[in-house]
Amino acid sequence: MAIKSALRAATALCLISAVSVQADTITIATVNNGDMIRMQGLTDDFTSKTGHTVEWVTLEENVLRQRVTTDITTKGGQFDIMTIGMYETPIWAANGWLVALDDLSADYDAGDILPAMAGGLSYDGTMFAAPFYGESSMIMYRTDLMEAAGLEMPTAPTWDFIKDAAVAMTDKDAGVYGICLRGKAGWGENMAFLTATSNAFGARWFDENWTPQFDSDAWSETLNFYIDLMNEAGPPGASNNGFNENLSLFQQGKCGMWIDATVAASFVTNPNDSTVFDKVGFALAPNTGKGKNSNWLWAWALGIPAGTDNEGAAKEFIEWATSKDYIELVAANEGWANVPPGARQSLYDNPEYQKVPFAQMTLDSILSADPNNPTVDPVPYVGVQFAAIPEFAGIASEVGQEFSAALAGQQTAAEALEKAQALTVDAMEAAGY
Amino acid sequence: MATQHSRSAARIMMAPAVILLLGWMLVPLMMTLYFSFKKYLPLRGGDLGWVGFENYARFVSSSSFWPAVSATLMIVVGVLLITSILGVLLAILLDQPMWGQGIVRILVIAPFFVMPTVSALVWKNMFMDPVNGLLAHLWKFFGADPVAWLTEVPMGSIIMIVSWQWLPFATLILLTAIQSLDSEQLEASEMDGAPVLARFWYIVLPHLSRALTVVILIQTIFLLSIFAEIFVTTQGAFGTKTLSYLIFQRVLESQNVGLGSAGGVYAIILANIVALFLMRIVGKNLDT
Amino acid sequence: MARAVTTKRKSINTALAWAVGLLIFFPILWTVLTSFKTEAQAIADPPIFLGFDWTFENYSTVMERSNYMRFLWNSVIIAGGSTILGVIIAVPAAWSMAFVPSKRTKDILMWMLSTKMLPAVGVLYPIYLLFIRLGWLDSRVGLVIVLMLINLPIIVWMLYTYFKEIPGEILEAARMDGASLKEEILYVLTPMAVPGIASTLLLNVILAWNEAFWTLNLTAAKAAPLTAFIASYSSPEGLFYAKLSAASTMAIAPILILGWFSQKQLVRGLTFGAVK
Query: Where on the phi/psi map is residue A166: left (φ > 0), alpha (ψ -120 to 50), or beta?
Result: alpha
**What does chain C come to in residues?**
276
* Contact at CB, A404 and B237, closer than 8 angstroms: yes
Within 121-140 of B, beta carbons closer than 8 Å to C belong to 121-123, 125-127, 132, 134, 137
Chains in contact with C via at least 3 Cβ–Cβ pairs below 8 Å:
A, B
Question: Which ranges of A269-356 does DSSP label H, i.e. alpha helix?
Answer: 311-321, 324-334, 345-349, 351-354
CB proximity A56 to C under 8 Å: yes
Within 174-213 of A, beta carbons closer than 8 Å to C belong to 175
**In terms of Cα–Cα distance, which of A187, A212, A219, A223 is closest to A393?**
A187
Cα dist from C160 to B8, B26, C266, C272, whole Å? 18, 24, 16, 9
Q: Is the pLDDT of residue A5 over 70?
A: no
* Contact at CB, B173 and C270, closer than 8 angstroms: yes
Q: What is the pLDDT of residue A231?
A: 95
- For residue A395, the chain B residues in CB contact (below 8 A) are 254
Q: What is the pLDDT of residue C276?
A: 52
Model confidence band, residue A20 (pLDDT cutoffs 50, 70, 90):
very low
> In terms of CA atoms, which chain C residue is nearest residue A25?
C221
Could you give all domains of chain A from N- to C-terminal order, each with its CATH number?
Answer: 2-134+297-354 (3.40.190.10), 136-296+379-430 (3.40.190.10)
> In terms of CA atoms, which chain C residue is nearest residue A261?
C237
CB proximity A91 to B under 8 Å: yes
* Contact at CB, B107 and C25, closer than 8 angstroms: yes
Q: Minimal Cα–Cα distance from A382 to chain C, Å? A: 28
pLDDT, average across residues C127-134: 92
The sign of the torsion formed by the CA atoms of C179, C183, C186, C187 equals negative
> In terms of CA atoms, which chain C residue is nearest residue B226?
C119
Q: What is the pLDDT of residue B283?
A: 63
Pairing of the two strands A25-31 and A81-84: parallel
CB proximity B238 to A under 8 Å: yes
pLDDT, average across residues B212-218: 88
Q: Is the pLDDT of residue C152 over 70?
A: yes
Model confidence band, residue C184 (pLDDT cutoffs 50, 70, 90):
confident
**What does chain B come to in residues?**
288
Buried b (16+ CB within 10 A) or exposed e, A163-198: bbbbebbbeeeeebbbbbbbbbbbbbbbbbbbbbbb
Q: What is the pLDDT of residue C119?
A: 80
- For residue C259, the chain B residues in CB contact (below 8 A) are 109-110, 112-113
Q: What is the pLDDT of residue B286?
A: 59
> In terms of CA atoms, which chain A residue is nearest residue C241?
A248
Question: 3-state class of A283 per DSSP?
Answer: strand
Give the count of alpha carbons within 13 A of A302, CB side only: 23
Q: Is the pLDDT of residue A253 over 80?
A: yes
More confident residue, C113 or A368: A368
- For residue C233, the chain A residues in CB contact (below 8 A) are 32, 60
Which of C28, C213, C245 comes nearest B110 by C-beta?
Answer: C28
Q: Is the pLDDT of residue B282 over 70?
A: no
**In terms of Cα–Cα distance, which of A121, A133, A35 is closest to A347?**
A133
DSSP state at residue A187: T
More confident residue, B210 or A381: A381
Q: Minimal Cα–Cα distance from A19 to chain B, Å? A: 34
Query: Which H or E run contains A9?
Result: helix A2-19
Model confidence band, residue A46 (pLDDT cutoffs 50, 70, 90):
very high
Distance between CA C62 and CA A2 in Å, rounded? 12
Which of B27, B93, B272 comes nearest C130 by C-beta?
Answer: B27
Q: What is the pLDDT of residue C2?
A: 43
Distance between CA A377 and CA B224 in Å, rounded? 46
Q: What is the pLDDT of residue C275?
A: 61
List pLDDT tens digits, range A57-91: 999 888 999 899 999 999 999 999 999 999 999 99
Within 8 A by CB and 6+ apart from C176, the residues are none
Model confidence band, residue A299 (pLDDT cutoffs 50, 70, 90):
very high
End-to-end CA distance of chain C: 19
* Contact at CB, B97 and C115, closer than 8 angstroms: no
Query: Where on the phi/psi map is residue A325: left (φ > 0), alpha (ψ -120 to 50), or beta?
Result: alpha
Q: Give chain C's mean pLDDT.
A: 87
pLDDT, average across residues A272-285: 93
Distance between CA B19 and CA B21 in Å, rounded? 5
Distance between CA A339 and CA A359 in Å, rounded? 11
List pLDDT tens digits, range B170-213: 998 898 888 887 676 777 777 777 787 888 888 888 888 888 98
Of these ranges, A44-53, B186-195, B267-276, the one predicted with the greatest mean pLDDT is A44-53
CB proximity A243 to C under 8 Å: yes
| Optimal mutation site among A31, A32, A241, A300, interface C, most CBs of chain C within 10 A | A32
Query: Which H or E run contains C268?
Result: helix C263-269
Range A73-77 contact pairs with CB under 8 angstroms and sequence separation of 24 or more: A73/B42, A73/B43, A73/B255, A74/B42, A74/C125, A74/C128, A74/C129, A74/C132, A75/A305, A75/A307, A75/C132, A76/C128, A76/C131, A76/C132, A76/C137, A77/A305, A77/A307, A77/A308, A77/C132, A77/C137
CB proximity B288 to C under 8 Å: yes
Question: What percent of chain B clears pLDDT 70, i.e. is strictly above it?
Answer: 94
Q: Is the pLDDT of residue B1 over 50?
A: no
* Contact at CB, A237 and B129, closer than 8 angstroms: yes
Query: Which H or E run contains B41?
Result: strand B38-41
> In terms of CA atoms, which chain B residue is nearest residue C131?
B28
List pLDDT tens digits, range B15-72: 899 999 999 888 888 999 999 999 998 888 888 889 999 999 999 998 889 999 999 9
Query: Which H or E run contains A137?
Result: strand A129-142
> In terms of CA atoms, which chain C residue is nearest residue B94?
C17
List pLDDT tens digits, range C58-76: 999 999 999 999 999 999 9
Q: C-alpha angle with apex A272: A267 to A273, nearest 5 degrees?
A: 50
Question: What percent of chain A clears pLDDT 70, i.e. is strictly above it?
Answer: 95
Q: What is the pLDDT of residue A260?
A: 96
> In terms of CA atoms, which chain A residue is nearest residue B233?
A240
Q: Is the pLDDT of residue A311 over 50?
A: yes
Could you give all domains of chain C from N- to C-terminal order, each with its CATH number?
Answer: 7-59 (no CATH), 67-232 (1.10.3720.10)
* 0.85 surpassed by complex ipTM: yes
Q: What is the pLDDT of residue B75?
A: 96
* Contact at CB, C217 and A66, closer than 8 angstroms: yes
Q: Minimal Cα–Cα distance from B210 to chain C, Å? A: 5
Just give the CATH number of B72-285: 1.10.3720.10
Q: What is the pLDDT of residue A21?
A: 42
Domain map of chain B by residue range? 72-285
Q: What is the pLDDT of residue B193?
A: 73
Q: Minimal Cα–Cα distance from B131 to chain A, Å? A: 7
Which of B41, B145, B252 comes nearest A70 by C-beta?
Answer: B252
Question: 3-state class of B173 per DSSP?
Answer: helix
Q: C-alpha angle with apex B77: B74 to B83, nearest 5 degrees?
A: 130
Model confidence band, residue C104 (pLDDT cutoffs 50, 70, 90):
confident
Model confidence band, residue A324 (pLDDT cutoffs 50, 70, 90):
very high
pLDDT, average across residues C92-97: 88
Q: What is the pLDDT of residue B287?
A: 54
Chain centroid to Cα B204, Å, comes to: 25
Single-letter amino acid code for the residue at C95? W
Model confidence band, residue A1 (pLDDT cutoffs 50, 70, 90):
very low
Which of B58, B130, B241 comes nearest A236 by C-beta?
Answer: B130
